[in-house]
Structure 1
Amino acid sequence: MPVELKPTFTELCDGSIDRYRHGRVLLAAHVIALFRVDRDWATEHLLPHFDWQLSEHEARAAWEGFLWSPRLYRPLMEALKGPFLESARHYETLDKHRVQYASLLTFAALDPGDTFTSSELARAVRALPPEGLRYAANALVNALEGAGDQRADYWRNRVTPFINNLWPKGHDVMTPVIAEALSRLCVAAGGAFSEAIVMLRAWLQPLGHPGTAVRMLHKADLCRTFPEHALDFLSLVIGEQTQWPPAELSECLEAIRTTAPALEEDPRHEQLLTYLRLHGRV
């Protein structure tokens, strides 16, 4: 760090001076760069402001600054591991940066390396409220979609351990919004769609607006690749609560019927056709 800047930055990090808090927020936004340039200075003067145990007000400000544009820089995460994980218990305090935190925690859990243990991550993920879990599920979808042709492997090697080891199992978090996110997660698994359905089936439920998930299902041509599991999926996410048939539902059922003709006699297929007829879509 330039010698001429260090005294100014050090003064800004004086937590006893409230009027400098906005300056500390800006420093926190650049903590990765500062940590890389002068680890000793950052560790002594800046990182303590991220510690919820020392000051909740200071920690909230520091994390808000960092979460403006968060990145997983492993050496910094090792230094901030405790406060980072504890932020899950202060989720509501993070205000408009809650989405970024839930997403960052999810990406950290997908590639924990030697920084985090499974039990540490499980405590943090399970401390998230339902809203945070929805954002975590959205982050899983984004991660899978970003895996491209490697989606199936990513599902098996990254997402499956996340669901098995970290995701909460209580019925109190089986909300419609989480079910919607997990329905998209199933489809995002691509070549591992059948495995995803088996794993997440208990979480799926009739949705008010399943259009996005059904559109993804149709676009990925999973009804032809996995007709049995696709039919099961559609029967789970479409029901009395569904306000209007998804535009692609008829095409999905046709793809299932032509690929696996025997499924046309399946009660689930018949029920979905009846649903379409009731809404004048057949």
Structure 2
Amino acid sequence: MKVALHQMVAGPNKEENLRRVLEKLSRADADLHVFPEYLMGVGEGGVSREHVHALAEPLEGPFAASVVEKSGELGTAVAFSAFLREGDGVYNAAVLADRGRVVTVYRKVHLFDAFGYRESSVFAPGDSLAVARLGDFTVGLAVCFDLRFPELFRAMALRGAELFIVPSAWYRGPYKVEQWLALTAARAHENTAYLIAVDQTGSLFAGHSTIVTPLGHRLVDLGEREGVIVVEINRGEVEEARRLVPVLQLLRRDLYVRWYGDSGA
């Protein structure tokens, strides 16, 4: 599978961001295109409830529908983010579309209430996994801050995920790049799965979009500039890693269930 990583800055204007996304889809030849979190728009100081709720749309709205339609026109798959309005709530969502059809939608479970930010004041929390088949791979979706919660990725791996896709807007700050690199490698290797994490960049966000292999090798790091790179991944590497390091087979689920129960989790 040829994967295009689109590291970019999303400005405050939703229509301009959509125009750039559609243009980028047309320019890169790939089986799967992956875009960052907060793709609909970011204000000067980041996201705010007022800005997000003004931009939010249902899945059938023009932003998501245009990207999904473009995937059908080009015969490709796209993983992108959206401020998804459902009923009275707005979710920070990742959408996986393939050739004009929505395959699955993930609503961010772990909201970014850390480092002085409070994403829970902006978004409603999700409560479900998103695992689906795409080509030769079973894919699991997560978003940004979810990288700090290994349980989510292990749950997806136990449901068959061989490739994690993580749209991100990882804020800059002391040691944040080191944390990003450590967590992306750990989530991939501990589950013997590929991990694709595409980040925003610019003045607010750290960049360093990456692909990590099932054995923890980093195939690419896009640094801090806007750009796109196309990388080929092979499901055979997942099979070989799981033969060499069979952590999913050796997992003591009986103990973990008891331990989590004892802790009240």
Q: Which is richer in helix? A: 1
Q: Which is richer in strand? A: 2
TM-score by shorter chain over 0.5: no
Structure possessing the higher relative contact order (Cα contacts under 8 Å, 6 or more residues apart): 2
Give the TM-score normalised by the residue count of structure 2: 0.33
Give the TM-score normalised by the residue count of structure 1: 0.32
